[in-house]
């Protein structure tokens, strides 16, 4: 009896992390702290020592893993986009939904993603203020491929009447901006409206507002179908 109880206790005990798992967890913590620092202070203002202190690791460990600050920035941004692609995956079962419902679902997921990770928009704004090799690297490796991937979907949405036939770059940045800015400017929003942009209720309301504005609302007495159209 005693032997059986001991066996059960041993089976239920949490497994100790392997060396590889510890390294992966430490690396992820460093990258998350790096993203926060680069998003808040920019590449020039962020220091490796401050990032190390925030992550609770030795400064030399960052140099060991990433060699220098430029490579740390690239690794952090790669981590950022990998995480976004993972969190933005289409849920199972959506294939049978209409294009409109799929688009609404995507907007809800994207607004929620932006609220969870406001550092994403902030770090890209920091880099986009001026041209740089880092910005070009991020555009070539992540941003442009993502935009190109959505090109056919944009054309499909135009054909189905979900989007007006306006330039693709316009609709892309309109949707991105309206989804990101409430969270990216969370401190400003708090001071003006007294609301917490990370509150799940506020996030849901913001997604609902975007969907209402883009897909449900129309101006009484107007006929937007007669307005001049520009080819994408």
Query: Does 3 score more than 90 pLDDT?
Result: no
Rounded CA-CA distance 219/97 in Å is 28
Task: Report how far residue 101's alpha carbon sits from residue 103's, in angstroms, rounded to the nearest whole number.
Answer: 5
Tell me the two tokens of residue 7. 């066996």
pLDDT for res 190 = 97
Whether the predicted pLDDT of 66 surpasses 70? yes
Q: What is the DSSP letter of 197?
A: T
CB atoms within 10 A of CB 67: 11
Q: Do the Cβ atoms of 107 and 189 come closer than 8 Å?
A: no
Q: Check whether 155 has a pLDDT greater than 90.
A: yes
Map residue 213 onto helix, strand or coil: helix
Look up the pTM and report it. 0.84
Q: What pLDDT band is residue 21 in, cutting at 50, 70 and 90?
A: confident
């Amino acid at each position: 009896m005693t032997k059986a109880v001991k066996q059960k206790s041993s089976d239920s005990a949490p497994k100790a992390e392997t060396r590889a798992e510890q390294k992966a967890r430490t690396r992820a913590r460093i990258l998350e702290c790096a993203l926060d620092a680069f998003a808040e202070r920019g590449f020039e203002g962020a220091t490796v020592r401050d990032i190390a202190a925030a992550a609770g690791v030795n400064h030399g460990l960052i140099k060991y893993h990433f060699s220098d600050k430029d490579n740390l920035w690239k690794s952090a941004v790669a981590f950022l986009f990998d995480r976004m692609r993972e969190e933005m995956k289409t849920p199972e079962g959506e294939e049978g939904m209409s294009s409109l419902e799929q688009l609404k679902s995507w907007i809800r997921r994207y607004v929620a993603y932006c609220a969870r990770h406001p550092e994403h928009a902030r770090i890209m704004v920091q880099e986009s203020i001026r041209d740089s090799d880092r910005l070009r690297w991020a555009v070539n490796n992540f941003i442009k491929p993502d935009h190109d991937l959505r090109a056919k979907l944009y054309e499909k949405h135009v054909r189905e009447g979900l989007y007006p036939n306006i330039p693709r770059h316009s609709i892309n940045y309109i949707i991105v901006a309206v989804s990101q800015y409430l969270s990216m400017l969370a401190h400003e929003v708090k001071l003006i409206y007294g609301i917490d942009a990370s509150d799940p209720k506020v996030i849901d309301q913001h997604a609902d507002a975007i969907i209402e504005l883009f897909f449900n609302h129309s101006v009484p007495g107007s006929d937007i179908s007669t307005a001049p159209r520009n080819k994408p």
